[in-house]
Amino acid sequence: MKKTYLLALPLIIGLLTSCQNGKQSSNKSPEKSGPKDTTAMVNDPHSYAQPEKAVVSHLNWDARVLFDSATIVATATWDIKAPEKTDQIVFDTYDLSIQEVKVDGQRADFTLGAFQEDQGRPLTVSLPANAQKVRIDYRTGDSARALQWLSPEQTASGSARFLFTQSQAILARSWVPCQDSPGIRFTYEADVQVPKGMLALMSAQNPQEKNETGQYHFEMPQPIPSYLMALAVGDIRFKAISERTGVYAEQPLLEKAAYEFADLEKMVQAAEELYGPYAWGRYDIIVLPPSFPFGGMENPRLTFATPTILAGDRSLVSLVAHELAHSWSGNLVTNATWNDFWLNEGFTVYFEHRIMEEVYGRDYSEMLASLTRSELKEDAAAMLEERPEDTKLKLDLAGRNPDEGVTSIPYNKGYFFLRLIEEEVGRSRFDTFLRNYFDKHQFEVMTTEAFLSYLQENLLSAEQYERLQIDTWIYKKGLPENLPKVPSQRFAKVAQALEEFMKAGTLPAQKQTAAWTTHEWLHFLHKLPDSVTVNELQRLDEAYHFSQSGNSEILAAWFQPTIRAGYEPIYSRVDSFLVQVGRRKFLTPTYAALQESGRADLAQAIYQKARPGYHAVSRETLDELLDP
């Protein structure tokens, strides 16, 4: 998932496999290298599943997608592995109505346990000896939090309805009864019936065009955890970018998306050169309607992406590098529980920067790293006031919604932790280390502790481990003083231009700004001091037309100083943006700025209009933020 931090209120604020030393095949297909136990026996506080009793290995999902009632009616048939003595298996569910359960063809007893706010209910099924298949007939409920049903008006085409899922962190259980823990992997196949005229896509081998029946078959031969289960249904088209990459979107966005992601193949190649073969077959991206709550979601084979990255100038494609990087960090080697989330995201941000460096040069990637660093410092300072425990890399999210762990810390502190090690051992040794790490642990899960052992056994001496304060980075609050620095000459020039504007009122010259990318503009806007006046903002707006920008990153950054200074002309643009876009990263700081600048009335009025169009994960964050 990409940088979708929950903004801490009120400020900005998203088994254990013992290290194997044996040589392993670099063949990425697990079936070819023989059966491998891919399930982690780690206690996951966010799942009712008890994998030590019985665990799933394969899903056969047969589903009908009913737009009129906004429900999915389905049968989930699970292949299970159960020790002889086991007499039950436990699944996670959230607001599912269960019609019938059969075990190996016979009706079976089942119970649904007490409902808990974030976790839903455990579904416990009695098992006879040697049970092999559990079949669950069910339908989804009104509060299926993973599903977002869109009316035609909420889509780009305006002519057809649309459905998409967002399962991370623990929302898969609201559309499939499953063992909803990142430590439990399974393969799947699916048959999905959707209305005629629509295309269905999953995190699996996908069709490239609509058929006449609306019936689609899917296979996912590599084992994945439940949070990577995904489905999108709509009037969707496909356009190839290279032989193994392409883009899906509604017709009006298709060409724009293909242009924006033209470098996709180059990125996959750069990633493979760094850390080994891409393990999943095709790599495609689907551009979703604007209410998608995240920047992107790394669903295997098919990244889900927000249309807010279609800037028209390819300036926001680092998001694609991020989701692509998850094909290794996260999807191939997976955090064992959400407390180890930094293993997914810190590695991915590191890898994202490396891909960007390969494709666009060090100068550019260092500018991104510099932005990452300022964001981290700002967020960590705010979080130390509000929720200091969450500034540790290893989190403790037991009893809380794991979504609360989605902050700058696992992403950016995780990134700088890895960068620190790279700077210590040198790039070439670090790359070899990472490549071996991905290779040895592919299709497995990883705990923080297992990674630290691996790090000690394979890279750092005891002296280095001590000197770099590895345990402090992982288990202590805040940012250690050896946080790597990122010199960016390009930003130094921006800072100088800003200083001249604030001191002497001199606008940065056209000659200079012509070469600025989105990131330089963002740096300029982020660094505007609190003392900036309405007059100065108006001069900037006249010169650079920020209020009319079609680049959502720039627009959202521009909202901050203008709302806070009470720059009247911005409010109508804020209104239309918040009604149109559902990406939480933009919503939270913008609503927060309205509230903090004495315009809570406006925040409430806009939210009332916009809320029905937001995905549940955005609504949950904003309900809390805007609670009167």
Which spans of this chain sit near Zn ion (rule: CB under 5 A)?
A: 1, 345, 348
Residue 314 Cβ vs Zn ion, minimum distance, rounded to whole Å: 20
Please give the radius of gyration of the chain, using alpha carbons only, rounded to the nearest integer.
Answer: 24
Residue 316 Cβ vs Zn ion, minimum distance, rounded to whole Å: 15
Choose the catalytic residue: 250, 260, 323, 366: 323
Give CA–CA dist 586/509, Å, rounded. 29
Residue 285 Cβ vs Zn ion, minimum distance, rounded to whole Å: 14
Q: Which is nearer to Zn ion, 1 or 578 (CB)?
A: 1
Residue 326 Cβ vs Zn ion, minimum distance, rounded to whole Å: 6
DSSP for residue 5 = P
Give CA–CA dist 594/600, Å, rounded. 6
Question: What residue has token string 């990452």?
Answer: 372
Residue 325 Cβ vs Zn ion, minimum distance, rounded to whole Å: 8
Q: Which is nearer to Zn ion, 119 or 348 (CB)?
A: 348
Q: Which is nearer to Zn ion, 118 or 345 (CB)?
A: 345
Q: Which is nearer to Zn ion, 48 or 328 (CB)?
A: 328
Choose the catalytic residue: 138, 248, 411, 591: 411
Give CA–CA dist 287/323, Å, rounded. 13
448 torsion bin: left (phi>0), alpha (psi -120 to 50), beta (else): alpha
Residue 445 one-letter amino acid: V
Give CA–CA dist 543/84, Å, rounded. 74
Residue nearest to Zn ion (CB): 1
**Contact between residue 104 and residue 36 where contact means Cβ atoms under 8 Å apart:** no
Q: Which is nearer to Zn ion, 248 or 350 (CB)?
A: 350
Question: In a 10 Å sphere around its CB, with 0-12 CB exposed, 13-18 middle and 19+ buried, how is residue 109 labelled?
Answer: exposed
Residue 368 Cβ vs Zn ion, minimum distance, rounded to whole Å: 15
- Three-state SS sequence of 527-566: CCCCCCCHHHHHHHHHHHCHHHCCCHHHHHHHHHHHHHHC
Give CA–CA dist 156/152, Å, rounded. 8
DSSP for residue 469 = T
- 323 is annotated as an active-site residue: yes
Q: Which is nearer to Zn ion, 210 or 301 (CB)?
A: 301
Give CA–CA dist 242/166, Å, rounded. 27
Distances (CA, A) of 484 to 32, 415, 476: 42, 10, 17
Residue 232 Cβ vs Zn ion, minimum distance, rounded to whole Å: 19
Q: Which is nearer to Zn ion, 345 or 404 (CB)?
A: 345
Give CA–CA dist 40/27, Å, rounded. 21
- 298 is annotated as an active-site residue: no
The candidate with the shortest Cα–Cα distance to 37, out of 309, 336, 406, 444, is 444
Give CA–CA dist 221/33, Å, rounded. 13
Residue 286 Cβ vs Zn ion, minimum distance, rounded to whole Å: 16
Active site residues: 323, 411
